[in-house]
Structure 1
Amino acid sequence: MKNKLEIIRKQHGVKQEELAAALEVSRQTIGSLEKGRYNPSIILAFKIARYFNL
């Protein structure tokens, strides 16, 4: 699944570590999401959307 998480994160000036801490996941999870190797649960997807006000 393609996503724009990396682009959105960088536009907001947020590091992977900061986003991971805010979402209560590991930095590796954020990296995997950005590379398309991992699809988020619906709960994590909503947390990401809420974090970026999307």
Structure 2
Amino acid sequence: MNARKQKGWIQKDVVEKLSDEFDISITESYYGMIEQSVRTPSLDVALSISELFDMEPSKIFLNTNTTFSCVELQC
């Protein structure tokens, strides 16, 4: 995650900050999977990560390479 690297943090730093500041308990491994888009975080974890980096959730978690139309989602 560029935001993490820009702050000079390693994944362990993010996990510790989530625990200390937001009472969110996740492992470094799980956080790494979130960064790699292998796992989707729960809403409270996603919002906490967004707040930690002072970014909108969509800027962090929305995959702009993939778009879905209402038809594809059967709206």
* TM-score, with structure 1 as normaliser: 0.80
> Aligned partners of 1:51, 1:38: CA distance in 2, in Å?
19
Structure 2 residue runs of 5 or longer lacking an equivalent are: 19-24, 56-75
**What aligned pairs does 1:6-17 form with structure 2 within 5 A after superposition?**
6-17=1-12
Q: What displacement does 1:7 show?
A: 1.2
Residue segments in structure 1 that go unaligned for 5+ positions in a row: 1-5
Among 2, 15, 23, the alignment partner of 1:20 is 15
CA distance in 2, matches of 1:31, 1:49: 15
RMSD (CA atoms): 1.0
In the alignment, which residue of structure 2 is the partner of 1:43? 44
Aligned residues: 49
| More helix by percentage | 1
Structure 2 letter corresponding to 1:26: T
Identity %: 27
Runs of 4+ in 1 over 3 A off after TM superposition: none
Larger Cα Rg: Structure 1 or Structure 2? 2
TM-score, normalised by the number of residues in structure 2: 0.60
